[in-house]
């Protein structure tokens, strides 16, 4: 039997779940199809830095109770270079705005519970295979318990990430792709170690960037710049901790606390945007429409921003018969997407020091020192950094 809903949402990540929650709040019937089990998506460690506007939005929607109680507010970060700490108090510079550190899987857990409580339909272990008919009433073909089924919606929202079915269903000649594969990758490490810092650390080292990110009082995330395509098996626990100690070292008595490594993997550093983000009645949101490197932590926030804009466009269509906002969805969001891409690529170049491969390292390092001085100072460039970083 074929299923039907006003909006079929493919993927229960931050984008799909925020969209589903807003639509359910306003009585728009929707169906979310998710490839994995509930246990899987509620445990999968991903991003963890939520921007000020998104926290406010989630609070207004009643989705932030646990985030506000258990998440940690952050409004400063540190750039380490040549053993010196340089602190950006970006929250103060951006008029009191701040990030919240709250793991993505926890937000997913909260949004799944809220959506189901509202009576929303969500089918786990139901991967979409293909989507067609976007220019009329789109149809999603999906698998469930070994059976091929279909779901029809007036609109389909493709929120199923970069490797999902939505992006793959769009004819290649309907999309203009903008892509940049960065030369180096990041080894991402998750460890059961308490944070050794109260603020995120970006360490710029001659042997490559190292990052110390925050997740919870008992778990921390670290990054180490490494050759693209490096294998995580090349990184023993000893090598990871000694490399982090070396690259994060300061000239004062700061020390790094270690702990058992829970997870490690090499991230492919890709920046990708597909234009447009809407194809008739198929709209793409989040990683299905764009990929950012982790520099600047913009990925999850953009996914939430897409979902919010798409939800408002759909509410205008379903409640007021007004299509203007939905028709402008792609244009509106691509502006935000490219703003985030520009910031993330700029920050990555600063962290890697590879803005121009022809630049001799000592020269490039003097430029980096100058840039860090400016963004951690109190002038116009520091304020611009603060605005872009906090979102």
74 is catalytic: yes
Return the closest-CA partner of residue 217 out of 232, 195, 191, 237: 195
**Least separation, in Å, of the C-beta of 354 and ligand APR?**
22
389 is catalytic: yes
Pick the catalytic residue: 100, 294, 329, 352?
A: 294
Pick the catalytic residue: 102, 115, 202, 329?
A: 202
Query: Rounded to whole angstroms, how far apart are CA atoms 84 and 189?
Result: 24
Query: Rounded to whole angstroms, how far apart are CA atoms 126 and 36?
Result: 7
**Least separation, in Å, of the C-beta of 310 and ligand APR?**
12
| 8 A C-beta contact, residue 164 and residue 34 | no
298 is catalytic: yes
**Least separation, in Å, of the C-beta of 37 and ligand APR?**
10
Query: Rounded to whole angstroms, how far apart are CA atoms 274 and 161?
Result: 13
In the complex with ligand APR, the residue whose CB is nearer, 110 or 258, is 110
Query: Rounded to whole angstroms, how far apart are CA atoms 47 and 25?
Result: 26
Place of tokens 């999968």: 44
Q: Backbone phi, then psi, for 82, in 5-degree steps?
A: 55, 40
Query: Rounded to whole angstroms, how far apart are CA atoms 196 and 226?
Result: 22
Q: Where do the H-state alpha helices sit in 124-190?
A: 165-169
| Residues sharing a CB contact under 8 Å with residue 360, sequence separation 6 or more, in sequence order | none
In the complex with ligand APR, the residue whose CB is nearer, 330 or 376, is 330
**Least separation, in Å, of the C-beta of 129 and ligand APR?**
7
Query: Rounded to whole angstroms, how far apart are CA atoms 183 and 349?
Result: 11
C-beta atoms surrounding 74 within 10 Å: 19
Place of tokens 């080292």: 205
Pairing type for strands 184-191 and 261-267 reads: antiparallel
What's the distance, Cα to Cα, between the start and end of the chain in Å? 44
In the complex with ligand APR, the residue whose CB is nearer, 19 or 28, is 19
In the complex with ligand APR, the residue whose CB is nearer, 13 or 274, is 13
What is the contact surface with ligand APR in residues (CB under 6 A)? 10-16, 33-36, 41, 46-47, 104, 127-128, 159-161, 164-165, 286-287, 299-300, 303
DSSP string, 59-99: HHTT--HHHHHHSEEE--EEEEETTEEEEE-HHHHTTT--E
In the complex with ligand APR, the residue whose CB is nearer, 267 or 384, is 267
Task: Print burial letters for 82-91: b (CB count within 10 Å at least 16), e (below 16).
Answer: eeebbebebb
Q: Where do the H-state alpha helices sit in 164-268?
A: 165-169, 237-248
In the complex with ligand APR, the residue whose CB is nearer, 277 or 375, is 277
**Least separation, in Å, of the C-beta of 326 and ligand APR?**
19
Pick the catalytic residue: 52, 74, 212, 352?
A: 74
CA atoms within 13 A on the CB side of 40: 9
**Least separation, in Å, of the C-beta of 301 and ligand APR?**
8
**Least separation, in Å, of the C-beta of 168 and ligand APR?**
8
In the complex with ligand APR, the residue whose CB is nearer, 47 or 364, is 47
223 is catalytic: no
Query: Rounded to whole angstroms, how far apart are CA atoms 195 and 218?
Result: 7
In the complex with ligand APR, the residue whose CB is nearer, 147 or 358, is 147
**Least separation, in Å, of the C-beta of 45 and ligand APR?**
10
Return the active site residues.
74, 202, 294, 298, 389
């Amino acid at each position: 039997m074929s299923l039907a809903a006003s909006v079929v949402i493919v993927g229960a990540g931050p984008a799909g779940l925020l969209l589903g929650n807003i639509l359910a709040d306003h009585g728009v019937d929707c169906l979310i199809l998710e490839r994995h089990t509930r246990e899987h998506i509620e445990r999968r460690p991903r991003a963890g830095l939520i921007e000020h506007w998104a926290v406010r939005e989630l609070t207004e929607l009643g989705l932030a109770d646990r985030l506000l109680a258990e998440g940690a507010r952050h409004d400063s970060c540190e750039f380490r270079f040549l053993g010196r700490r340089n602190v950006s108090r970006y929250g103060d510079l951006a008029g009191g705005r701040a990030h919240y550190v709250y793991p993505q899987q926890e937000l997913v857990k909260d949004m799944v519970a809220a959506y189901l409580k509202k009576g929303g339909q969500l089918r786990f272990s139901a991967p979409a295979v293909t989507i067609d008919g976007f220019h009329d009433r789109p149809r999603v073909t999906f698998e469930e318990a070994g059976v091929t089924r279909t779901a029809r919606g007036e609109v389909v929202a493709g929120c199923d990430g970069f490797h999902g079915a939505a992006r793959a269903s769009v004819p290649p000649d309907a999309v203009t792709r903008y892509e940049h594969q960065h030369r180096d990758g990041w080894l991402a490490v998750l460890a059961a170690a308490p944070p050794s810092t109260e603020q995120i650390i970006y360490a710029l080292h001659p042997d490559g960037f190292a990052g110390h990110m925050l997740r919870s009082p008992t778990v921390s995330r670290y990054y180490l710049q490494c050759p693209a395509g490096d294998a995580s098996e090349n990184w023993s626990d000893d090598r990871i901790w000694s490399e982090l100690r070396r690259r994060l070292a300061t000239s004062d008595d700061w020390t790094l606390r270690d702990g058992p490594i829970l997870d490690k993997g090499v991230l492919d550093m890709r920046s990708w945007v597909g234009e447009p983000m809407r194809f008739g009645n198929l709209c793409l949101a989040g990683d299905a429409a764009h990929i950012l490197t982790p520099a600047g932590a913009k990925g999850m926030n953009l996914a939430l921003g897409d979902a919010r804009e798409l939800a408002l466009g759909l509410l205008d269509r379903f409640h007021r018969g007004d299509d203007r906002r939905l028709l402008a969805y792609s244009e509106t969001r691509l502006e935000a997407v490219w703003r985030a891409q520009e910031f993330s690529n700029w920050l990555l170049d600063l962290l890697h020091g590879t803005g121009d491969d022809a630049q001799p390292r000592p020269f490039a390092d003097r430029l980096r020192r100058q840039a860090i001085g400016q963004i951690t100072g109190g002038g116009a460039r520091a304020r611009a950094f603060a605005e872009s970083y906090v979102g």
